[in-house]
Amino acid sequence: MTPLDRGREAEFRALVDGKAKPLGALGKLETLAVRLALIAGRPDPRADRVRLYVFAADHGLNEAGVSAYPSAVTAAMVATLLAGKASANAFARAVGAELRIVDAGVDADLSHPDLIDAKVAPGTRNAAEQPALTRAEVDQALARGAELAAKATREGIELLAIGEMGIGNTASAALILHRLGPAPLADCIGAGAGHDAEGLARKHTVLARAAARAQPTEPLDVLAEFGGLEIAMMAGMILGAAEARVPILVDGFIAGAAALAAIRMSPEAAEVCVFAHRSAERGHTILLEALGADPLLDLDLRLGEGTGALLAVPLIRAACGLIGEVASLDDVLQGRI
């Protein structure tokens, strides 16, 4: 994996500056347009074909009550996604994006013609008591995520997006941020899917026990101790996107934890990551700051499923249109339109 070639950055910036608009009038969208052109290596990046992958997996930590919902809800929501009735389905239709559901590690026997079976294991182990994953399982999840990214690009996908479904995965993400941010554990823990005060206190206690059990600092070790299979597989997809030079929209807190792990493994991966939104989940702002990321949207979302990533798709397409389709100010003034 090599860094982006910055040799044409001045060219692309001048191209955007010269459009039929006041200098800087489109703010962050102009910076985004330049980034997309750099990733594509040409002045007319495209995002016509967009595909969101929703990675689903279960978490052994949920045995200790870190979520307000039982693990069985993961499989139920996967079924809802496959039936086309979840929020991600509605949003994908609204923005014209393709949607793929991936079984990364759901603790159930799932069978559906539209389900991508990439299951590494039926969920993780309880990270408060033992490592959540083996290194071999982490490697397998990373490889499968990277393979999906490579396959998508061969199929003509121009923009990838990642989301997740996994009861208990905010707990795993909090531990990953704690170690890789790094950041104080208490600042990383939020209410997740909707804890009351008692449930949140229990979540703090369980995660403190997990953090005291192991103190890894290397990203592969952190994923093994605390990671979910969906988080590791999303990290693999980010690494695969970076290798293929395809931009990837990163959803909220859990997808952000995957991006944090991927970027700590390979800093060049940050160049293809576009952070879709700032989640309302506690810890996400800390994560974004740790990566120096400036998200596109701030809508108080905390659902997951890639919903925030999908809502950012029109902004990506608008940025592509700005650099690739808008007339230059010089052409307008010279009457060449």
The two tokens of residue 12 are 């692309």
Q: Taking the domains of the chain in order of start, what are their residue ranges? A: 6-45+321-333, 50-317
The two tokens of residue 200 are 């949140």
Topology of 6-45+321-333 in CATH?
Answer: 1.10.1610
d(CA 42, CA 55): 31
pLDDT digits (tens, 9 = 90+) for 198-234: 899 999 999 999 999 999 999 999 999 999 999 999 9
Q: pTM, whole model, 2 decimals?
A: 0.96
The residues annotated with a catalytic role in the active site are 305
Environment class of 302 (CB within 10 Å of its CB; exposed 0-12, middle 13-18, buried 19+): buried
pLDDT digits (tens, 9 = 90+) for 137-175: 999 999 999 999 999 999 999 999 999 999 999 999 999
Question: Residue 4: its pLDDT value, please?
Answer: 84
What does the mean pLDDT of the chain come to? Answer: 96
Residue 57: band (very low, low, confident or very high) from pLDDT cuts 50, 70, 90 = very high
pLDDT digits (tens, 9 = 90+) for 256-278: 999 999 999 999 999 999 999 99
Question: Residue 274: its pLDDT value, please?
Answer: 98
Question: Residue 196: its pLDDT value, please?
Answer: 84
pLDDT digits (tens, 9 = 90+) for 188-199: 999 887 778 889
Place of tokens 């998200």: 295
pLDDT digits (tens, 9 = 90+) for 281-337: 999 999 999 999 999 999 999 999 999 999 999 999 999 999 999 999 999 999 988
- Write the DSSP assignment of 268-290 as a string of letters: GGGGGEEE-B--SSTTHHHHHHH
Question: Residue 41: its pLDDT value, please?
Answer: 94
Over pLDDT 70: what percentage of the chain?
100
In CATH, what is the architecture of 50-317? 3-Layer(aba) Sandwich (3.40)
**Rounded (10°) angle between helices 219-226 and 253-265:** 140
Environment class of 122 (CB within 10 Å of its CB; exposed 0-12, middle 13-18, buried 19+): middle
d(CA 136, CA 114): 27
pLDDT over 80 at 112, yes or no: yes
Average pLDDT over residues 117-127: 98
